[in-house]
Amino acid sequence: MDAKIIEALSEIDASLKEEEKNPKTLLYIFARIKIVIDSGSNQKLIHKNKNLMKLIRYFLCDKDREVRVASLRTLRYISTSDYALKYIRRRNILHFVVRSFETEGRSNERVEACKFIKNWLELSPTTFPMAFMAALVSLAEAENDDELKDFAVEAVRLLSVSNTALVAWCGGFRVLINSIFNLKADEGIVNNTILTLLYLLNNKETRQYLKKEKELARILAIFTDTEMDIRESELEGLISLGKRVIIMMSRSWVGLIFLASGGLRQIIENICLPIKPKIKEAILEIIEEMITIPVETMQTSKSLLKNYLAMLLKALIHCNLYRSLTHLAIEKSDPMAQRARKLLKVVTSITSDLLPDAPQFSLMLDTHKSVIAAELVAEIDSCTRLKDNFSHLGIIYRSCEMLSKEPFSFIESQNTVISGIYKNYALGMIDDNEFNNLIKKSHVLKETKKWKWEIIYQIMAGPIDTPPRFYQALKTRFLKCLLSYYMPSRGLFSVLEWHPNNFIKAQVGTLLLGLLLSQTEGVILLTTTINEGFFVMRKCFIAEIADGIDDEISVKEQGKTISNRLFSPDKMKVTMVREYFKWVGLMTNYRTGIALLNSSNLDSKLMKLSTVEHLSTVVIPYLNYRESISQDFLIYSLQSDDILVRKHAMEHLRLLFRAGAYDITWAVREIVNQLYSPDHRIVSCALSVIEELCTDISNLRVFIETGPQTLTRLGEEGAKCLISFLSSSSGISYLSQLDFIQKEMEKWKAKGNFDYVKKIEHQSEIALTSQKKVYALDVHTPFANSYNDRLEPLWLRKLPFTIIVYISGSQKTYSLNTWVEISDDVYIVGQVPEVEVHENDCISVCMQLGIYNIDSRGQETSDCNWIKCQPQDRDLDVSNIIEKFGVSFKFTTIKKTKFLTEVSYRVQVLPKATASIKFPKHLYGELVQTKLGLKKLQESKHANELVEYLKTDAQIIQKRVALWGLGHIGSSERGVHYLNALGAIGIIVDIAEKSSTLSLRGTAFQSLCLVASTNAGRKELLKYGWICSQSKIALPAQSEKIFWLETDDDFKTFKEKCEEHDRVLDTFILTNEEQEILSHIIGLGNVVRRSEAETYLKAKRMSSPHAFVSVPLFHAVMSYITVFSFKLSTRKIVHKLFEKMYSVQKKIDEIDSYKHIY
């Protein structure tokens, strides 16, 4: 032992032996205690020193406040561990700390007592004294705005998790519920309290305390208690809080099961009662928000949120939603009837997609209102035919609609039936005479400013699409004049701004090109020089386009400066010139067009521009990738030095695959080459595309032939990609050669399974419980594209978005070209060319479409809609990504210098939902796709261990690991048979229906939805009373199987606690006078007796002051206010009565002879 410590301990012992107890002694001892405690060793010698504790208690009873402060500080300093606090607890010191904590104001004494209580809470919550808990509850319930009130509420919340029984005994849950409905409470505090209650509801051991408290019923009271007396001024605020609480609870499995098992039914049924309109409206809003989950209900892929939404609908229907909404909807006198009808339409539409047993109206409608009921059914039946009116939408919507009218490429297969009907209609409605009249009315043979573009479009969209009429238009020079308008050298179409006002001309040009390429005479017209007079001889249309391309090649290869370039970057952004390059791409969709490209040498010239950003990204979406010229162009684009071009090309390959163009083996090798890029963004994008492409066996074979050893060196991302190859025999053979499978299985057994559970449940939690995402831009899907889920926002890539960045310090402006990224959301991304950002720089960004500024709704604005990243934003957020209003600013730091590297806009694609949260690939789920993989899994016995987790009393996390792992095994036919052999399906069903841990029921349900992916799985589930919808979601036929809570009333914990406290209280021996005083002090907590008790105690204190310095009475009173609930004002009266206890300071050690309540 260090000599300095020995000396300090010796000096402490010597001081404690002194008979005279001087406050200076405490300061002297504190200095020595500090030496021992700071040494980190021999602390127990301090804690075990009974004389030291008695000395601290002695001075806690001192008259001088500063002495009491010093005592509390000393006490806090020696409270260094759980062991120390347990020892302090037995030294009968708590009464005096409580007295100090409940003094008036924010004195040093009170602050020190608060620090000591906080210290105990953090170090040893399980031994937290009841005396402190009672003090915290009374402070939290104080009517005045005490400075430490928030501390008390937060302390109660934290203790409710670690010492639930104590909080329940002391009325702490009443405090938490009150804090939720405190109109002045911070939103973060309210959310934390709700999450805490959900945590406690999850397990039976903690849920029982909430049940017996009956406090949770108050959460729903604003909607269930129709007799509740609420001031009108507070009603809206309480309704808003109540809505938030219920929505937040419903966004978790625990909360959903709790609500569906109890008060949600009463809330829903109340909409049929004559309650306050505001409350009825709020209930409908709750239901609307509950079912507003961003999922594509019709897509066949498995989705976490889709499964959740199905169970949510099942819960709502279990709580009588259909009957209640129907009842309200047919009550036309009720002002909420129309809203109920709209909601009923939405619910009907979603349930028909997701639920196997959607309710039938015929069983529910009131026969006395059959006419109204029939109208309702008809209205709901027509809901899918209702279309929104988007006429008010701005430049983006009109731009998208223009794109949707372009000729469809081979991956955008239009509805040929509808197209044929329209053409036949157009041809049938217009005879030859009417056609000739339209030609004349178009004024095409006159000067261009007199042309009637609506009529021209009407002609080109259908009536001209027959050989006789084509020749008639050719003969009358209609087509020649029209083509002449689009000649670049004339500067008519090419100089127009890229704006919706000019889109009709672009549409006519697209139709004209398609028409000319479909006829031999049309091709001749495209390649014939145009003679406009004796002195004016123009090249043919194709030759002029070729000249423009030659200029771009010269700029690229020779670095020439050419003025007035046709396809310059600026013109491609803001003028209709970009349409010419799109038309070059569309030529690959016609045999004659490809021949024309060959004969004019445009095909080879085009290849030279494949790596040029402002041209390549425009033409890529329009090429026909069944043709070798298009495939070569995309491969060359993947070899570009420009990151934007490469990412654009890779993302387009992903879309080709999603659209059904599976034979893209020609691109696989070049994608593999991207894995060797030094840029992590390219590698990450390539991995993502490879993983998706290789779900097709042909692509996977080509991928394996390339021998991409680099994947094994790319860490978790590479492993994730390799795991997806296990679903094919060739993939398993390839990975076996790399010795990947065995190592990966060992890794998953040790850690991978747990990481998977954390990842997937974190994704689900974020999606359901986080605040609604902020979108920087709303974009509406063109109607022509809305029927096809496979395309994603392909059309969005065709728009010329530009992100403008302004740095305040350098006063520089950057114009960023963009690409579209698709992950959980859609992003428009611009790469910044390493812009240094100084400490005080403000970064401002705005979005442009063409040359027009746009706001977050896609409306054209005269001024830039700047979104700013201020210096203080970067100070508050230490991460490298800062989000403001849906715009993400990405930074990188090199040698303490910060650079802005990327800006991205989160886009909300309407009216479609955002991308669903899909199940990540699971090792076991991929292995069981093949016989060899299943054999390896069987040999490993991993599945057997997972089943044992479910059978035994394993940890919750282990059970969740087992449920997810077994669910993925059951997602294939082979896997279902394997699970049957293990007896696993019945066990999972049993957990989903009977587990006392509510979150496990939810996880088991998700697991069963995976099993429902196959016919074999659905047949097995049917044996257990679980039926499956067309979306392959498994649900119990009887909802009561999953929506229930315990009804067992055998709850003895509090009974035993009461008996224990009674035994302690019965040991107190008091005089008759002291018993009478105690009786009146207890009466202070009684509304009826309070006045009488106050009068008595005031008189008694005046007549017999000695009675209030009795140690036995003081101990008895402090014990009673620990066990029973008293308001803070009453407790302060008690402390005032005994404020002269310092006069018996030397007798205070008597307190050790009495029994205590801890």
Residue 1005 belongs to domain with CATH number: 1.25.10.10
Q: Last residue of some domain: 910, 933, 949?
A: 910
Predicted local distance difference test score (pLDDT) of residue 419: 46
Euclidean distance between CA atoms 271 and 282, whole angstroms: 10
What DSSP string describes 972-1040?
A: SHHHHHHHHHHTHHHHHHHHHHH-SSHHHHHHHHHHHHHHTTSHHHHHHHHHTTEEE-TT--EEESSGG
Does 627 have pLDDT greater than 80?
yes
1095 and 977 co-located in one domain: no
Rounded average pLDDT over 1094-1114: 91
Burial class (CB in 10 A: 0-12, 13-18, 19+), 915: middle
888 and 980 co-located in one domain: no
Residue 1116 banded pLDDT, cuts 50, 70, 90: very high
Of residues 780 and 204, more confidence is placed in 204
1062 and 1137 co-located in one domain: yes
Residue 253 banded pLDDT, cuts 50, 70, 90: very high
Range among 350-364, 389-403, 873-887 with highest mean pLDDT value: 873-887
Task: Say if 83 falls within a structural domain.
Answer: no
853 and 928 co-located in one domain: no
Does 385 have pLDDT greater than 60?
no
Of residues 707 and 361, more confidence is placed in 707
Q: Which tens digits make up the pLDDT trace of 973-1005?
A: 999 999 999 999 999 999 999 999 999 999 999
Task: Say if 189 falls within a structural domain.
Answer: yes
Q: Which tens digits make up the pLDDT trace of 956-974?
A: 999 999 999 999 999 999 9
Count other Cβ atoms within 10 Å, centred on residue 701.
Answer: 16
126 and 150 co-located in one domain: yes
Task: Say if 704 falls within a structural domain.
Answer: yes
Rounded average pLDDT over 188-196: 89
- CA atoms within a 13 Å half-sphere pointing along the CA-CB vector of 442: 24
Predicted local distance difference test score (pLDDT) of residue 391: 43
Predicted local distance difference test score (pLDDT) of residue 422: 46
Range of the domain at 1124: 1053-1153
Task: Say if 613 falls within a structural domain.
Answer: no
Euclidean distance between CA atoms 189 and 154, whole angstroms: 8
105 and 211 co-located in one domain: yes
C-alpha triplet 903, 907, 909: angle, nearest 5°: 160
Does 664 have pLDDT greater than 70?
yes
Closest CA to 748 of 969, 556, 462: 969
Rounded average pLDDT over 285-303: 75
Residue 789 banded pLDDT, cuts 50, 70, 90: very low
Q: Which tens digits make up the pLDDT trace of 87-117?
A: 888 888 999 999 999 987 778 999 999 999 9
Residue 1 banded pLDDT, cuts 50, 70, 90: low
178 and 92 co-located in one domain: yes
Q: Which tens digits make up the pLDDT trace of 711-751?
A: 667 777 778 788 878 888 888 888 888 788 888 899 999 99
Residue 418 banded pLDDT, cuts 50, 70, 90: very low
Diameter over CA atoms, the chain: 132
Does 17 have pLDDT greater than 60?
yes
Q: Last residue of some domain: 1016, 1041, 1066?
A: 1041
Rounded average pLDDT over 6-14: 82
Does 379 have pLDDT greater than 70?
no
Task: Say if 44 falls within a structural domain.
Answer: no
Rounded average pLDDT over 575-579: 91
Of residues 403 and 168, more confidence is placed in 168
Whole-number average pLDDT of the chain: 84
Task: Say if 467 falls within a structural domain.
Answer: no
Residue 416 banded pLDDT, cuts 50, 70, 90: very low
Rounded average pLDDT over 498-502: 87
Of residues 27 and 367, more confidence is placed in 27
Does 595 have pLDDT greater than 90?
yes
286 and 326 co-located in one domain: no
What DSSP string describes 310-362?
A: HHHHHHHHHTTHHHHHHHHHT-TTSTTHHHHHHHHHHHHHHHHHH-TTPPPGG
Does 386 have pLDDT greater than 50?
no
Rounded average pLDDT over 617-626: 89
Task: Say if 1106 falls within a structural domain.
Answer: yes
Predicted local distance difference test score (pLDDT) of residue 709: 62
The percent of residues in the chain predicted with pLDDT above 90, rounded, is: 41
Predicted local distance difference test score (pLDDT) of residue 297: 54
222 and 282 co-located in one domain: yes
Task: Say if 14 falls within a structural domain.
Answer: no
1078 and 969 co-located in one domain: no
Burial class (CB in 10 A: 0-12, 13-18, 19+), 475: exposed
Predicted local distance difference test score (pLDDT) of residue 363: 40
Of residues 977 and 211, more confidence is placed in 977
The percent of residues in the chain predicted with pLDDT above 70, rounded, is: 88
Predicted local distance difference test score (pLDDT) of residue 173: 92
Q: Which tens digits make up the pLDDT trace of 904-944?
A: 999 888 765 444 567 788 999 999 999 999 999 999 999 99
Does 1127 have pLDDT greater than 50?
yes
**Of the given ranges (234-238, 322-326, 403-407, 455-459), which has the lowest mean pLDDT?**
403-407
Burial class (CB in 10 A: 0-12, 13-18, 19+), 695: middle
Predicted local distance difference test score (pLDDT) of residue 375: 54
Rounded average pLDDT over 858-879: 83
Which CATH number characterizes residue 225's domain?
1.25.10
Domain tally for the chain? 6
Does 1069 have pLDDT greater than 50?
yes
- 499: helix, coil or strand? coil
Pull the structure tokens for residue 349.
Answer: 């539409």
732 and 846 co-located in one domain: no
**Of the given ranges (168-177, 343-352, 576-585), which has the lowest mean pLDDT?**
343-352
Q: Residue 703: CB partners within 8 Å, gap ≥ 6?
A: 668, 672, 690, 693, 694, 725
**Of the given ranges (12-16, 498-502, 839-843, 1121-1125), which has the lowest mean pLDDT?**
12-16
Rounded average pLDDT over 624-636: 92
Predicted local distance difference test score (pLDDT) of residue 381: 46
Rounded average pLDDT over 141-151: 85
The residues with which 780 forms a beta bridge, in sequence order, are: 910
Residue 1086 banded pLDDT, cuts 50, 70, 90: confident
943 and 886 co-located in one domain: no
Q: Last residue of some domain: 253, 281, 313?
A: 313
Give yes or no for a contact between 167 and 173, defined as CB atoms under 8 angstroms apart: yes
Predicted local distance difference test score (pLDDT) of residue 770: 55
Predicted local distance difference test score (pLDDT) of residue 1051: 53
Give the burial string for 1-17 (b: 16+ CB within 10 Å, else e).
eeeebeebbeebeebbe
Closest CA to 567 of 527, 616, 629: 616
Does 878 have pLDDT greater than 90?
no
Does 121 have pLDDT greater than 90?
yes
Euclidean distance between CA atoms 159 and 168, whole angstroms: 10
Give yes or no for a contact between 347 and 325, defined as CB atoms under 8 angstroms apart: yes
Give yes or no for a contact between 574 and 850, defined as CB atoms under 8 angstroms apart: yes
